[in-house]
């Protein structure tokens, strides 16, 4: 079966968490709105067409045979179970999902550094608020989240340097993406904060070196970070 991923074609955004899981799974997938068969109407169909009984609120969503699955962490839950990117037993599966959901919370806060007032407004219309929010995010929230995930790494009874058990999970892939994104958006702050979280830095490097992820990152399938995504580099937010 070929999965169909529906996401905006020009950003990493939330879709990137799904792309990383599909790539690490070695799954057969089409990124529907991108490339030769570029299909934005197809992307919009599932949100807009009245014939869709279970419409997603927003991309990304994944078509897997008859299933249409929305919400990033929900898709990861599904793919993790199908492709061994989460433990098979209930406790490990829920724990991995819990970590994916905590990454999702962290991601919203990263987004809101440049859009603290309204996602429908331009950044330029909320710059003073963005500066306050980004300062709070970098001073308090980034250390809190990274400190949390560093503790999770340290306490993993398997002692593998991974977040869950012995094998790579969606949580590891998602944490890689968070760190990569934070480095892009806040290079100065991350240079200060990172050394306090050596386990996460090592995890980032380890995920980047996984053969399938390494090949993906070097391919044109990996969209570069840019100023339309969730992670954006505004120097005034990273003084």
Which residues contribute to the site for a second copy (CB under 8 A)? 50, 52-57, 66-67, 69-71, 73-74, 77-78, 90-91, 94-95, 97-98, 101-102, 105, 108, 112, 116-118, 120-121, 126, 129, 132-133, 136-137, 140-141, 145, 148, 151-152, 155-157
Q: How far apart are CA 104 and CA 78, in angstroms?
A: 16
Nearest-approach distance from CB 28 to a second copy, in angstroms: 20
**199/213 with CB nearer a second copy:** 199
CB of 72 to a second copy, least distance (A): 8
Nearer to a second copy, 121 or 215 (CB): 121
CB of 158 to a second copy, least distance (A): 10
Query: Least CB distance from residue 214 to a second copy, whole Å?
Result: 29
In angstroms, rounded to a whole number, what is the distance separating the alpha carbons of residues 166 and 150? 16
Compare residues 6 and 95 and give the one whose CB is closer to a second copy: 95
How far apart, in whole angstroms, are the C-alpha atoms of residue 153 and residue 163? 5
Cα–Cα dist 222/30, whole Å = 14
CB closer to a second copy, 38 vs 125: 125
Distance CA 198, CA 54 (A): 43
CB under 8 Å to 31, separation ≥6 — which residues? 5, 7, 9, 15, 19, 221
**How is 40-71 classified by DSSP, letter by letter?**
HHHHHHHHH-TT-SS--SSS-EEEETTEEEES
Q: Which is nearer to a second copy, 76 or 168 (CB)?
A: 76
Q: Is 162 helix (H, G, I), strand (E, B) or coil?
A: coil
Give the residue among 142, 143, 125, 131 at the shortest CA–CA distance from 235: 131
Report yes or no: 74 and 37 within 8 Å, Cβ to Cβ. no
**Least separation in angstroms between CB 68 and a second copy:** 8
CB of 97 to a second copy, least distance (A): 5
Q: Min. distance of Cβ 196 from a second copy in angstroms?
A: 17
Nearer to a second copy, 37 or 118 (CB): 118
Residue pair 145/106 in contact by the 8 Å Cβ criterion: yes
Nearer to a second copy, 89 or 205 (CB): 89
CA nearest to 83, candidates 1, 152, 161: 1
């Amino acid at each position: 079966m070929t999965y169909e991923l529906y996401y905006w074609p020009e950003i990493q955004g939330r879709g990137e968490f799904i792309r990383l899981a599909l790539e690490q799974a070695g799954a057969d997938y089409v990124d529907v709105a991108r490339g030769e068969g570029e299909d934005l109407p197809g992307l919009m169909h599932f949100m807009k067409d009245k014939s869709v009984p279970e419409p997603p609120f927003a991309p990304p969503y994944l078509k897997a045979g008859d299933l249409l699955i929305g919400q990033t962490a929900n898709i990861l839950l599904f793919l993790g179970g199908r492709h061994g990117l989460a433990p098979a037993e209930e406790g490990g599966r829920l724990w991995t999902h819990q970590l994916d959901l905590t990454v999702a919370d962290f991601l919203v806060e990263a987004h809101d550094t440049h859009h603290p007032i309204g996602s429908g407004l331009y950044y330029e219309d909320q710059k003073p608020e963005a500066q306050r929010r980004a300062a709070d995010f970098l001073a308090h929230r980034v250390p809190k989240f990274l400190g949390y995930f560093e503790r999770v790494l340290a306490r993993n009874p398997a002692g593998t340097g991974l977040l869950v058990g012995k094998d790579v999970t969606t949580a590891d892939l998602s944490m890689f993406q968070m760190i990569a994104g934070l480095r892009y958006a806040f290079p100065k702050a991350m240079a200060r904060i990172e050394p306090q979280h050596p386990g996460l830095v090592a995890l980032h490097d380890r995920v980047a070196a996984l053969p399938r992820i390494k090949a993906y990152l070097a391919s044109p399938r990996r969209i570069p970070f840019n100023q339309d995504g969730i992670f954006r580099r505004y120097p005034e937010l990273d003084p």
